[in-house]
Structure 1
Amino acid sequence: MAPQHHVPRDGDRRLSGHRERHGATTPRAPAPTADTVGRLVRSLTAGDGPAGAGPEVRPVTEGGEQCAWWVGGRHVLRLTRDQGAATRARRELRVRDLVRPLVGVAVPQSVAHGDWAVGLAYTLDTRLPGRSGATQAVSAVGEADLAALLTGLREVPVRQAESLGVPRAEPRSLEELRAAAERAAGQLAAEDEFDPANLAQLTADAAVQLAARTAAAVLVHHDLRGEHLVVSADGRVRGVVDWADAVLGDPAEDIAGLALSVGAPAAVRAATLAGYGARPCLRGLWLSRCDAVIRLADRLAGRDDSPLPPLRGQLRRAWESILLERVTELPGDD
């Protein structure tokens, strides 16, 4: 099985909805040319390849916060194009080292890193064997892998993560998100894309009950899309990539990310295996459902140019039925 390391495209980034925006308005450097990348790769892999020419280098994507290039069959080179992205890329190296022994799945290893231009970071990473979770289904055993991931993230010492520069993120208001989703659902109904009656399950009182608890902040990957899950042919989750947006915050955000990526039932089962109770599971479920409705409405209204099929797939997966659908009385402590 050919190894894969999944690098997000511009459109993919808009699917997450959780990106830190540090540096988003700062000027971006031009994309590095093939010659620039070739010289950098040869300096990092001297002697590799035929006649010392270095390994084959092929572009993965250009634009956005990073450019990415395949380097031979075992590595991927990522280069940032603005100061904010460079800061996150440098922090990501520290975060990966912190979580690697805890999360139970593989995390890319940087074999070389530095600056490819003044203030702009690069990292040459190992490629993890497997396929993208966007194209490879996760099995029941893979759900246990996801549970180990969520368990490991909760075990990361908060103070240690803060010492590495991981920022805190305030929990989102589910009440505000619900109101936005109701408006978006009306737009989708006009396009025959969604039945607004589905949102009736999330009442105003339920949204209040599912408010996040700030004391429960843990390390959150914050972008658990399918493209960032590395899945083997038998459905095992073998790795997780792209830790640049990790924050200390609401664990329901990662449950929501999994609901959008692998489906609501699998996400809730994984979270339950990880020890999360009804409140964070339901909160994550409704975060994902509201997000999916809002993002698809934005796309159809021309406010976003993300590709439609992934957005429709997210909507379908987030609204898959689970046993724990309605908010009733929730226990006081999870």
Structure 2
Amino acid sequence: MTQAPTPTADTVRRLVRTLLREGADDTGTAGPEVRPVTEGGGHSTWWVGGRHVLRLALDRESVVRQRRELRLRELVRPHLPVTVPASVARGEWAPGLTYTLDVKLPGGTAEEHDVSAVGEADLAGLLGGLREVPVRQAETLGVPRTAPRSLEALRRMAVHAAERLRAADEFDSGRMAQLTGPAAAQLAAQPGTAVLVHHDLRGEHLVTTADGRVRGVLDWSGAAVGDPAEDIAGLALAVGSPAAVRAATLAGYGARPCLRGLWLARCDTVIRLAARLDGQDAGPLPLLRTQLRRAWEAILLERVTELREDGSDDGF
């Protein structure tokens, strides 16, 4: 198999000059400024001037994901109160390798701006809107269905990782005792609850304004039909557990998926930080520590709610 070319600034500049018809300026320099976006992975992403973002698929798998994402964005757009990126041009930048040129959404990210109470309502609208997207239509577009993760298996891994963090003076491993084996079993995903989930609601993917509103959501390439607690967990890492649970509750989710999402986030952050300390994770250390702190923020729900023996989750 021929190795895919590595995109360079010149490659990107030639492509976008053709797409945007910028032409040459008075100095003879052609096209807008281009610079790579350093966050994320899996595809190459470039800022194009101040108004566009170019995403280049680098292999066959990312080509499939990009084409699926473009179709999915059109499906979810009518259901969401936040903006979904729009493509102004698409095609191939190299034989068999696709690109999409998107309009840049105005604003910063949830890593730059705190989400306000009104922003939590925006997140609630996002979660509620995703529940309304017809699952069969999403699957027709090629969106995969993913099985819920085992919280018990994740708990066991997190207990071990917490000891590693305790030894490094990064975390009080005793806090993992809050999630017992029986509690993890009680918080197992329930049958028939699968919805469309973004599956990567990191802070950098939430377009947020200085006043705390959430105006858009980026990067739908990892979307799946699956456990809604995964998006609640993502929000816990992005905006903190209290805000995530408030948004999920406002969206109509009960105690079970909220607590499940909370503990997915907590276990994930413990495991990832331990892996980073052992050199097995490339994530930025300051961000992983911040996500750990956010996920372990106390919420009112876990203090006052005991899930009923019959498994109901609406009694709080």
**Per the shorter chain, which TM-score range?**
over 0.9
Q: 1:49 to 1:256 in 2, by over 3 A?
A: farther
Q: 1:63 to 1:294 in 2, by over 3 A?
A: closer
Cα separation, 2, equivalents of 1:306 and 1:159: 35
Cα separation, 1, equivalents of 2:288 and 2:274: 10
Matching residue within 303, 306, 313 for 1:328: 306
Cα separation, 2, equivalents of 1:143 and 1:63: 24
**Is the aligned partner of 1:81 residue 2:61?**
no
Tell whether the 8 Å contact from 1:173 to 1:211 is kept in structure 2 after alignment. yes
Give the SS at the match of 2:280.
Answer: coil
Which letter does structure 1 place at the counterpart of 2:140? Answer: S
Post-superposition CA distance 1:41-80 (Å, at most 9, x none): 1111114663693322223249942112211211011101
Q: 1:235 to 1:162 in 2, by over 3 A?
A: same
Which letter does structure 1 place at the counterpart of 2:298? Answer: S
Find the counterpart in structure 2 of residue 18 from structure 1. none
Give the SS at the match of 1:211.
Answer: coil
Cα separation, 1, equivalents of 2:87 and 2:203: 22
Cα separation, 2, equivalents of 1:64 and 1:205: 37
Superposition deviation, residue 30 in structure 1? 3.6
Give the SS at the match of 1:192.
Answer: coil
1:128-139 equivalence runs, <5 A:
128-139=105-116
Give the SS at the match of 1:321.
Answer: coil
Q: 1:85 to 1:103 in 2, by over 3 A?
A: same
Give the SS at the match of 2:166.
Answer: helix
Tell whether the 8 Å contact from 1:185 to 1:294 is kept in structure 2 after alignment. yes
**Is the aligned partner of 1:177 residue 2:177?**
no
Q: 1:71 to 1:113 in 2, by over 3 A?
A: same
- Normalised by the length of structure 2, the TM-score is 0.93
Post-superposition CA distance 1:174-203 (Å, at most 9, x none): 000000000000100001111111111111
Which letter does structure 1 place at the counterpart of 2:208? Answer: V
Q: 1:49 to 1:75 in 2, by over 3 A?
A: farther
Structure 2 residues without counterparts, runs of 5 or longer: none
- Normalised by the length of structure 1, the TM-score is 0.88
**Is the aligned partner of 1:114 residue 2:94?**
no
Give the SS at the match of 1:181.
Answer: helix
1:160-175 equivalence runs, <5 A:
160-175=137-152
Cα separation, 2, equivalents of 1:148 and 1:113: 29
Find the counterpart in structure 1 of residue 70 from structure 2. 93
Superposition deviation, residue 31 in structure 1? 2.1
Cα separation, 2, equivalents of 1:28 and 1:228: 30
Matching residue within 129, 140, 151 for 2:128: 151
Identity of paired residues, percent? 69
Superposition deviation, residue 27 in structure 1? 8.4
Q: 1:63 to 1:39 in 2, by over 3 A?
A: farther
Q: 1:333 to 1:308 in 2, by over 3 A?
A: closer
Cα separation, 1, equivalents of 2:112 and 2:86: 23
Give the SS at the match of 1:70.
Answer: strand
Give the aligned length. Answer: 309
Cα separation, 2, equivalents of 1:28 and 1:88: 19
Tell whether the 8 Å contact from 1:48 to 1:55 is kept in structure 2 after alignment. no
Structure 1 residues without counterparts, runs of 5 or longer: 1-25
Find the counterpart in structure 1 of residue 6 from structure 2. 31
Give the SS at the match of 1:32.
Answer: coil
Post-superposition CA distance 1:294-315 (Å, at most 9, x none): 0000001111122100000000
Give the SS at the match of 1:100.
Answer: helix
Superposition deviation, residue 35 in structure 1? 2.1
Cα separation, 2, equivalents of 1:50 and 1:214: 60
Find the counterpart in structure 1 of residue 198 from structure 2. 221
**Is the aligned partner of 1:70 residue 2:47?**
yes
Find the counterpart in structure 2 of residue 317 from structure 1. 294
Tell whether the 8 Å contact from 1:142 to 1:237 is kept in structure 2 after alignment. yes
Cα separation, 2, equivalents of 1:123 and 1:138: 29
User: Relative contact order, CA 8 A, sep 6+: which one is greater?
Assistant: 1
**Root mean square deviation, CA, Å:** 1.8
Post-superposition CA distance 1:228-262 (Å, at most 9, x none): 00000100001000000000000000000000110
Q: 1:313 to 1:333 in 2, by over 3 A?
A: closer
